[in-house]
Structure 1
Amino acid sequence: MKKAVAIIILVLLIDQISKIYIKTNFLYGEEVVVFDWFRIHFIENNGMAWGAEFGGRTGKLFLTVFRLFAIGGIGYWLYTSVKKNAHNALIIAISLIFAGALGNIIDSVFYGVIFNTPYNETATLFAEEPYGELLYGKVVDMLYFPMWKGTLPEWFPYKGGEPFTFFNAIFNVADAAISIAVAILIIFNKKAFPKEEEITEITD
């Protein structure tokens, strides 16, 4: 459990420090080119995958409340997995998922009441006139990897002849932690989720 907690704290610190720095030092939409294939690009969204929006204020509230319940379930999954002496791959993956989910929950729950959004200026932390309300904050994203830009060939299905960017998603450290966790679960699937007979052999 100590290792799991250490992973969670480390991911949360990197996630929140990077978000607060970007929010208070970048204008919305500002971009810094680190390499041709890696850029820091500041955007915000309501917290759904790929920046999707649905249901207005009601949808945002539902999403935030759902996440609060989900983080409780993930925490219980982590606790029971540690108690059952599960494989390290599973413990690390759940810890990353928990940290990633919690990192974005912090944005959704609190950022609306601690940041402002001035026009053509950087935001202020603990602003006197914040931009939103509790549970209605926006999630900060900044990691952008446009590895290839070009026009797809005409024969390409659906998008042939259109401009295309790979990879065009903009995300944050919390999102990256969840993605890494999913990759770990896929790569170490058999070790993370051993069959009953394998568990019996280990305990015998």
Structure 2
Amino acid sequence: MNIKKSVLLIVLILIIDQWSKIYIKTHFVLGESVDVFNWFKILFIENEGAAWGAKLSDILPISDSIGKLVLTVFRLFAIFGIGYWLYDVIKKESSKTLIVAVSLIFAGALGNILDSVFYGIIFNDSYNEVASLFSDEPYGKLFYGKVVDMLYFPMVDTTWPDWMPFFGGSNFRFFEPVFNIADTAISTGVGILLVFNKRAFKNEDDEAVLGPSEISEAQDALKE
């Protein structure tokens, strides 16, 4: 897989991701939802932190504002790191599986960093109103944007039986996290690396395998 196909895949994911986020942001009030199926909803929420809404300020003795800035800067460094990884695997003509996986991870990471960096200065607030694109009254500052999430799959929404220890009577919902297209791309890329690990790193493994003559020379060298 060459760099042109990789870029095409990344651009395609970014277009779908950003289009879906901008559409939700400019058509939904925060917290509004639409039932597509019983097990699938479009639910508009905004994520100010990392995965599952976690915040650095919940872990470290820092303010929410500083925690948000640190997280955004970290994401920027991660983008450069993943971008170099993608460039390296393409340059080395690694397996198509590996290039596709890294391309998906890069596209997803870039999609979410666009929210974090720019959304705070191009949208107004979504509380009790539908936001406007390029608003005169943006809700935040550069690097302080919120990530837009909307895909929600509550495939199981029930209550634990009363007789069950510890959990009896409490609500159980699967799958509860709300995510977006960028998150899906990242998860898919990581999943490919985990499930198809041998295929993804096939070229690297092949290069590491020594032939009979190389093995013999290595054995002789060890004896000396």
Q: TM-score, normalised by structure 2?
A: 0.85
Distance 1:34 1:22 in 2: 14
Q: 1:195 to 1:35 in 2, by over 3 A?
A: same
The answer to whether the 8 A contact 2:124-2:131 is kept is yes
Question: Which of 108, 119, 141 does residue 111 from structure 1 map onto?
Answer: 119
Question: Which of 112, 133, 143 does residue 135 from structure 1 map onto?
Answer: 143
Post-superposition CA distance 1:13-42 (Å, at most 9, x none): 000000000000001100000000000000
Distance 1:97 1:192 in 2: 14
Residue type of the alignment partner of 2:37: F
Residue type of the alignment partner of 1:84: K
- In the TM superposition, what is the alpha-carbon distance from 1:200 to its structure 2 partner? 5.0
Residue type of the alignment partner of 2:155: M
Segments of 5+ residues of structure 2 without an aligned counterpart are 58-63, 211-224
Distance 2:135 2:205 in 1: 58
Distance 1:130 1:143 in 2: 25
Distance 1:196 1:25 in 2: 47
Q: 1:112 to 1:2 in 2, by over 3 A?
A: same
Please say if 1:166 is aligned against 2:174: yes
Distance 2:207 2:168 in 1: 50
Stretches of 4+ aligned residues off by more than 6 angstroms: none
3-state SS in 2 of match to 1:32: strand
- In the TM superposition, what is the alpha-carbon distance from 1:199 to its structure 2 partner? 2.5
Please say if 1:179 is aligned against 2:187: yes
Residue type of the alignment partner of 1:138: K
Larger Rg: 2
Distance 2:102 2:167 in 1: 37
The answer to whether the 8 A contact 2:25-2:126 is kept is no
Distance 2:117 2:205 in 1: 44
Residue type of the alignment partner of 1:122: V
Identity %: 62
3-state SS in 2 of match to 1:82: helix
Distance 2:166 2:53 in 1: 22
Q: 1:147 to 1:57 in 2, by over 3 A?
A: same
Match of 2:19 in 1: 17
RMSD in angstroms over aligned alpha carbons?
2.0
Residue type of the alignment partner of 1:184: I
Post-superposition CA distance 1:76-115 (Å, at most 9, x none): 0000000111111110010010000000000000000000
The answer to whether the 8 A contact 1:152-1:163 is kept is yes
Residue type of the alignment partner of 1:9: V
Segments of 5+ residues of structure 1 without an aligned counterpart are none
